[in-house]
Each structure stands twice: as structure tokens, then as C-alpha cells.
Amino acid sequence: MKYEITEEEGFRFIETKGGSENLVLLHGLFGALSNFQGIIEHFSTSYNVVVPLLPIFELPIRKVSVSGFVDHVARFVEYRGLDKIHVLGNSLGGHIALLYVLAYPEKVGSVILTGSSGLFESAMGTSFPKRGDYDFIKNKTEATFFNPEVASKALVDEVYDIVNDRNKAIRIVATAKSAVRHNLSDKLHQVKAPTLLVWGKEDTVTPAFVGEKFHELIDNSKLLFVEECGHAPMMEHPEIFNKHLEDFLSEVTAKEVS
């Protein structure tokens, strides 16, 4: 699927304009649009699916942090005039989504987290993988998934290019360290929006117990596990993920109407 990326006022994004409800997707450290292909294709005509590209490699280095990305998302939502958004985040994107919800609760209709950071950051690490070793990067990327075949050559190449670009590598490490400093365990009780947690049962980056802890700390939350699935359910089992998401959004929007 070919995505047309719009560039306006310092923002880069795609927007499908397929419906009145806004579904905002926030990506993680590695991969962006390709990670959400299944969601975009499924919901593009029924929702206004919006994917802002996080400026991980564009922000001034002093601003590279989860807070810096939250500020970027906040400015973007304001610029596009989006309201009552359904915000979905994977991995670091989930962490950013939660910080956004905590800062701007009036802007959010619901939250969807999958393999989110924010509670358990040690797996993200504060150092970087070996540079120049393609097989090592390939194995590390494949380990993100239950089925290693999901790690396409294009995805492995993307991660390899990032690892071997010193400027990008520094920014990835800075972001990971920032995530460690922004643990949300003492703030999640403040999240009041309906929340869906979709977790891979075999996630090794943010293991199943992390999803259970999010469920425990967020009162209005629902936790669903996907079997034979790693850190990115929307990539590894897109049909199952989309069904869970569709059911959740239908329930939330029905309550809004009533």
C-alpha cells in the first residue's frame, strides 16, 4: 500500500479522511507507517485515520525525549483541529499516547495500547545494538515477533540503517533513556478514558505481565491477549487485532452517542 505523506508547517503525516471519528496512530522507535499498514487499510474508509510521523531524527537533540514527542503530537492535534481522538500507540507510541492523555484528557475519546512502554523500560535498553553486523540486527528484529518471518527484509534493512547512522543511533538511545525516566506507574490511575490493551502473549519486549499491570492500574481498561504473538500484534495478527479494535471503537462510539 502506498501512503501519501503530507508535509505542512513542520509536520509530516498521512490522513485518510474516511470518517468523522479520528483514529490517531503513534508509532514506536523502529518502523512507522509500515507497522500500521493493516490498521490503515482496514479503517481508512470508516475512520479518519491519522498517522503523525514522530520527529525522532529531526528534533534538535536537546528536545529528543518522550516529552518532546508529546509536545509535537499536541501541536499537531491542535493544528489539524482534531477532537475526541481515539489514540492508539505501539511500544514507545503507547508511552507517548499515555502522556498525551494525562496532559490533555479533554481531547481524548479512548486509548488503545499494544506492547506499550511506560511501565517496564529495561527491555528497551540504554545502549545500542552492534553496528555493522547485519545478521545480528536481523536476529534482534526477528526476536520482536513470535513468527520471525514477519520481520521482512525491508524492516530489517530499516533497523540496520538506523543502527549504522551515528546521529540516529544517538537519538534512539536518548529516547530510550528518557522513557526510563518517565515511568508512569504512579500516574495511570488518572487515565479515565476507555482503554483497550491488546498484548502479544509471547511478547518478550514488554511481556504479558506488563499488559496485566497496565490493566490493574487503569481503571476503565480491557485487556486482550493474542496467542502466538510478539511485540506488535497489529503486524503479526492484523485480522485479530483489527477485530478487537473495531469492536472496542464501536462500543465506545455507541456510548458517546447515547
CATH number of the domain to which 116 belongs: 3.40.50.1820
166 is a domain residue:
no
Q: Which domain holds residue 37?
A: 6-122+183-257
Q: What is the pLDDT of residue 131?
A: 66
58 is a domain residue:
yes
Number of domains in the chain: 1
Q: What is the pLDDT of residue 59?
A: 84
Q: What is the pLDDT of residue 64?
A: 87
145 is a domain residue:
no
165 is a domain residue:
no
169 is a domain residue:
no
131 is a domain residue:
no
Please state, in angstroms and rounded to a whole number, the distance separating the CA atoms of residues 11 and 215.
Answer: 33
10-residue mean pLDDT series, the chain (258 residues): 85 94 93 87 96 90 90 97 96 96 97 94 50 84 92 89 87 87 94 98 94 97 98 96 98 82
235 is a domain residue:
yes
Task: Tell me how many degrees the CA angle 117-121-127 measures, rounded to the nearest 5.
Answer: 125
The residues that bridge with 225 in the sheet, in sequence order, are: 199
